[in-house]
Amino acid sequence: MKIDFAIIGGSYAGLAAALQLARARRQVLVVDAGQRRNQCVDDHDGEAHGFLTQDGRAPGAIAADARRQLRRYATVHWMEGLADEARVDTGGRLSFRVGDVTVNAGRLILATGVRDELPPVAGLAERWGRSVFHCPYCHGYEMDQGPIGIIAASPLAQHHALMLPDWGSPTLFLNGAYAPSAEDLEAFARRGTRVEPTPVARIEGFADVVLEDGRRLPMSGLFTQPRTQPASPIAAQLGCAMEEGPMGPFIKVGPMQDTSVPNVFACGDAARAAGSVTLAVSDGAMAGFGAHRSTML
Ligand code: FAD
Ligand code: MG
């Protein structure tokens, strides 16, 4: 099939891009594999926070509202499935496949998100999105100023150790993943963050940290620092330039969310160092504007 604008990834960023293009009466295809990064929160009946007007709603309900509103626009087309085999041919034409269907697109917007790689601590992955998180702004408030465990996965734990006293009473579990400097330790002491060098054996209960020496420290919640990877190889298939962020690689974009490959745009977690629903929606809107504007230049 042939389409003016194809969007790969139909979550917050992709749907925000689609909305702008739909409102310009452009023909848009949204391809989505249905694997939002925060699906884990829905799986535990949890809430998304920090997105204006939607604070405390289920992440899936926010995405479902967006889809429902977009379905009112006749020029938006939908495909469920995984896009793959993206290519730019010698004439600069863009194509990809979804199952047996080859899609030729005038403009392509990548809103494919990232995947989280958690440190290999027993019991952590099962609690991801329930009592284990990475973003204090999203989930710190609900810890109710109680005891907060920081499971170090990398030296990025330093940021958590400095930030989280504003949300509760943190203990930093070094777990062999991070060796703070003398200055770091002084700063943690100033901020009131305790440091626990004994390795973590496992997480039990809601958020109990069980140490290798047998001690059990119940927490209101835990934070860790996942490494992120692009959720999709599409950007790599197209040869989009990447940037290395503190958490992992992401697609390099210009001010209109344009990538290094002509007519390819990117937005959301896939194209920024660290993301949120608000920022994904903002980048997505800009990618929609950028892709549309590029057809007039
Ligand atoms: P995603 O929401 O990850 O969506 C990407 C979409 O692209 C998916 O539907 C996926 O299936 C699809 N896709 C990928 N590759 C392909 C392909 N090849 N073909 C077809 N489809 C494809 N943010 C907040 O603002 N508030 C919170 O409270 C909050 N809590 C969070 C809690 C946890 C545990 C986690 C992990 C994240 C949380 N976030 C929160 C961050 C938030 O989930 C992300 O910032 C947001 O989902 C990014 O939106 P996105 O549209 O860029 O990507
Ligand atoms: Mg930007």
Strands 132-133 and 114-117 come out as: unpaired
- Residue 40 neighbours by CB distance under 10 Å: 19
pTM here is 0.97
Atom of ligand 1 nearest to the CA of 271: 52
Beta bridge partners of 147: 169
Q: In the β-sheet with 208-211, what is the strand arrangement from edge to edge?
A: 200-204, 208-211, 216-218
What's the confidence (pLDDT) of residue 139? 97
Nearest one of 88, 211, 225 to 164, comparing CA atoms: 225
Q: Give yes or no for residue 275 CB within 6 A of ligand 1.
A: yes
Res. 297: pLDDT tops 90: no
Strands 200-204 and 101-110 come out as: unpaired
Model confidence over 47-89: pLDDT tens digits? Answer: 999 999 999 999 999 999 999 999 999 999 999 999 999 999 9
Model confidence over 79-126: pLDDT tens digits? Answer: 999 999 999 999 999 999 999 999 999 999 999 999 999 999 999 999
Structure tokens at 72: 């009112």
What's 16's DSSP letter?
H
The fold of the 119-224 domain, in CATH, is FAD/NAD(P)-binding domain (3.50.50)
- Interior/surface letters 87-113, b for 16+ CB within 10 angstroms, e for the rest: ebeeeeebbbebeeeebebbbbbbbbb
What's 45's DSSP letter?
T
Contacts of range 243-252, beta carbons closer than 8 Å, 24 or more positions apart: 243/273, 245/272, 245/273, 245/274, 246/156, 246/273, 246/274, 247/156, 247/273, 247/274, 248/114, 250/114, 251/110
Ligand nearest the Cα atom of residue 82: 1
Cβ atoms of residues 221 and 148 within 8 Å: yes
**Cα–Cα dist 82/211, whole Å:** 41
Same-fold call for 2-115+227-294 versus 119-224:
yes
Share of the chain above pLDDT 70, in %: 100
Q: Give yes or no for residue 226 CB within 6 A of ligand 1.
A: no
Atom of ligand 1 nearest to the CA of 47: 28
Residue ranges of domains in the chain:
2-115+227-294, 119-224
What's the confidence (pLDDT) of residue 11? 98
Model confidence over 224-273: pLDDT tens digits? Answer: 999 999 999 999 999 999 999 999 999 999 999 999 999 999 999 999 99
CA of 36 to the centre of ligand 1 (A): 4
Q: What share of the chain is helix, strand, coil (3-state, %, to 5)?
A: 30, 30, 40
> So what's the architecture of 2-115+227-294 in CATH?
3-Layer(bba) Sandwich (3.50)
| Angle, alpha carbons 237-112-277 (nearest 5°) | 155
pLDDT, averaged across the chain: 98
Q: Give yes or no for residue 37 CB within 6 A of ligand 1.
A: yes
Directed axis angle between helix 12-23 and helix 59-70, to 10°? 20
